[in-house]
Each structure stands twice: as structure tokens, then as C-alpha cells.
């Protein structure tokens, strides 16, 4: 599997997206593999193409490839089917960005047609898939997006800042602390998350702290699980185990054992 990352170079787009990414795989003759992606409170725009082992088009997100797709915040584990041959070029939006661009609330766990939010997607899909160089693809997508981007609103920037505070500060373990990070009320936090993020403040907190827990176990597989749970806001270890299994698919103990064996990428 080949992967790539690129920075956003458009000042207008920087307010809404923080990176471009690409992935390509060729698995002809190899069995189907399911890859679980640890999700974040963010949305993606992807340009995708692929073929099955028998030469027919891959079906991803419920549509035949090639396709341009908007994926909203995914609140459960996101499973990718690795089969045949495929390539994806994507834009990772900042928290709340897609709802700000769309001008409306967006439901979670949805794959949307790009035409629902942005115009001219068909031409851009053709141009992106025809271009082999990621740097040129980036310029194509930036030039297409720039004239469709609204001026960032104060509410959107506040919502994005609140999520960034949660992601970057592992001492934030309660909803009340989220608002304190930006001097806003709990009611305002709830309103902004509903309008821009889609997921609840509690979900975002849990997701970010579980990622922190996974990072601790990756670096220190022998860490005391009860201490890890308590430091990150779980005072009942059974709740920690339940949440960890729900989002990562295994218990913290199994995750730590896999980390000792070097099983994590």
C-alpha cells in the first residue's frame, strides 16, 4: 500500500482543511482484507477509483467507482475493504468545516454526493483521476474549492477551536472543561457542536481520550490500565474497557498485548 500526505497551500482553504492525503493499493491475487480506521470528529472529501479482481468497478460508500464522495463524521469504527486495485485522493477538513461550507447541519455516519454541497465535482473528479502527481492534484482541487468557500464565521472558528482544545489537551475530561478552554458556556458548546461538528461534546471527549489511551499503550504496553483510565477521565475501569472496545474493536488489555508484539502499524 502506498500513502502520501501534502500540506494545504491555499490561504483560503487553510481555514477549512489541514491536509491532503492519498492512498493506493494493488491486491490482485490477495484475499480480501478489512482495515479499521480510527475516526476523528472531522469530515473528508475523496476522489476515488478502483477495480475488483474480475475487472469490474469497485463499489465503495454504496456507489460504483469512480466517484467523488463527502464522508461526514463517523461515530463508530470505520471499516475499509481492501480488495482489487484502488486509488484515493482526499482532503481532510478541519472540525466543523464541511457544515460551515454547506451552510447547514450535517448528519453523522453519512457518505454524501459532492454535488449535494459543491458544484462542478464531475469535472474535477475526471481531472484528478487523470493526473498521477499528488502535487498537481492538490492544485486542481484547491483551485476548484477556493471560489466556493464562504468567509469563515466566528461561530465556526470557535467550534473548530473547541475541538482542537479537546484533541490537544488530555487534561480536558469533562464537558464543562471544553467551554472553559475558550471561555464559553456549556450551552454554547452544545449548540456549536450540534451545528458544526454533528457529534456531541461527550462523544468528541471520549474519542479523543481513547486515542490518547491507545497512544499510551503503544508507547508503554506495560502501563497500569487502571491508572491510564483514571488519568484520562474514566473512574470506572469497566466503562473504560467498554468504550475502548466499542471504538477500537479490542479491549485495552488485548491492545497492549498486540503493542508488545509490534502488531500495530
**Per-residue pLDDT at 1:** 77
**At 68, is the secondary structure helix, strand, or coil?**
strand
C-alpha cell at 213: 489511551
Topology of the domain covering 154-260: Arc Repressor Mutant, subunit A (1.10.10)
Q: Three-state DSSP class for 220? A: coil
8 or 249: which leads in pLDDT? 8
Residue 35: pLDDT above 70?
Answer: no
Residue 47 has pLDDT above 90, yes or no: yes
Q: Alpha-carbon distance 251 to 242, whole Å? A: 8
Q: What was the pLDDT predicted at 89?
A: 98
**Domain residue extents for the chain:** 2-148, 154-260
Residue 182 is predicted with a pLDDT of: 84
Stronger pLDDT, 189 or 249, i.e. the higher one: 189
Please answer whether residues 110 and 72 qualify as being in contact, where contact means their C-beta atoms are separated by less than 8 angstroms.
yes
In the predicted model, what is the mean pLDDT of residues 13-26?
A: 94
Nearest alpha-carbon partner for 133 in 20, 45, 50: 20
- The arithmetic mean of pLDDT across residues 30-37, rounded, is 67
- Predicted confidence (pLDDT) per residue in 144-188, tens digit: 999 999 999 999 999 999 999 999 999 999 999 999 978 999 999
Q: Are strands 44-51 and 85-93 parallel, antiparallel or unpaired?
A: antiparallel
- Weakest-pLDDT range from 53-57, 78-82, 96-100, 242-246: 78-82
86 burial type by CB count under 10 A (0-12 exposed, 13-18 middle, 19+ buried): buried
Lowest mean pLDDT among 8-17, 23-32, 65-74: 23-32
Length of the chain: 265
Query: If you average pLDDT over every residue of the chain, what do you get?
Result: 90
Percent of all residues in the chain with a pLDDT value above 70, rounded to a whole number: 93
Burial class, 156, CB count within 10 angstroms (exposed 0-12 / middle 13-18 / buried 19+):
buried
Q: 93-139: per-residue pLDDT in tens?
A: 999 999 999 999 999 989 888 988 999 999 999 999 999 999 999 99
Give Cα separations from 216 to 68, 78, 173, 222, 253 (angstroms).
36, 22, 16, 10, 12
- pTM to 2 decimal places: 0.87
Q: What is the CATH number of domain 2-148?
A: 2.60.120
Res 248: pLDDT: 83
Using alpha carbons only, how large is the chain's radius of gyration in Å?
19
Amino acid at each position: 500500500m502506498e500513502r502520501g500526505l501534502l500540506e494545504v497551500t491555499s490561504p483560503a482553504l487553510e481555514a477549512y482543511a489541514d491536509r491532503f492525503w492519498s492512498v493506493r493499493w494493488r491486491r490482485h491475487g490477495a484475499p480480501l482484507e478489512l482495515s479499521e480506521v480510527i475516526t476523528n470528529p472531522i469530515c473528508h472529501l475523496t476522489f476515488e477509483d478502483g477495480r475488483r479482481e474480475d475487472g469490474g468497478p469497485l463499489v465503495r460508500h454504496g456507489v460504483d467507482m469512480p466517484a467523488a464522495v463527502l464522508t461526514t463524521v463517523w461515530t463508530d469504527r470505520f471499516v475499509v475493504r481492501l480488495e482489487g486495485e484502488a486509488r484515493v485522493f482526499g482532503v481532510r477538513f478541519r472540525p466543523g468545516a464541511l457544515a460551515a461550507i454547506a451552510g447547514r447541519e450535517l448528519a453523522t455516519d453519512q457518505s454524501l454526493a459532492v454535488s449535494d454541497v459543491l458544484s462542478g465535482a464531475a469535472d474535477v473528479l475526471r481531472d484528478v483521476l487523470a493526473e498521477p502527481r499528488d502535487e498537481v492534484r492538490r492544485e486542481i482541487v484547491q483551485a476548484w474549492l477556493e471560489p466556493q468557500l464562504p468567509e469563515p464565521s466566528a461561530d465556526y472558528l470557535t467550534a473548530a477551536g473547541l475541538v482542537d482544545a479537546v484533541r490537544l489537551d488530555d487534561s480536558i475530561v469533562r464537558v464543562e472543561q471544553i467551554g472553559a478552554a475558550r471561555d464559553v458556556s456549556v450551552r454554547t458548546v452544545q449548540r456549536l457542536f450540534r451545528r458544526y461538528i454533528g457529534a456531541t461534546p461527550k462523544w468528541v471527549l471520549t474519542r479523543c481520550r481513547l486515542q490518547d489511551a491507545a497512544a499510551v499503550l503503544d508507547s508503554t504496553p506495560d502501563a497500569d490500565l487502571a491508572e491510564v483510565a483514571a488519568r484520562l477521565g474514566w473512574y470506572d475501569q469497566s466503562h473504560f474497557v467498554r468504550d475502548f472496545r466499542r471504538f477500537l474493536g479490542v479491549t485495552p488489555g488485548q491492545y497492549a498485548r498486540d503493542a508488545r508484539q509490534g502488531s500495530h502499524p
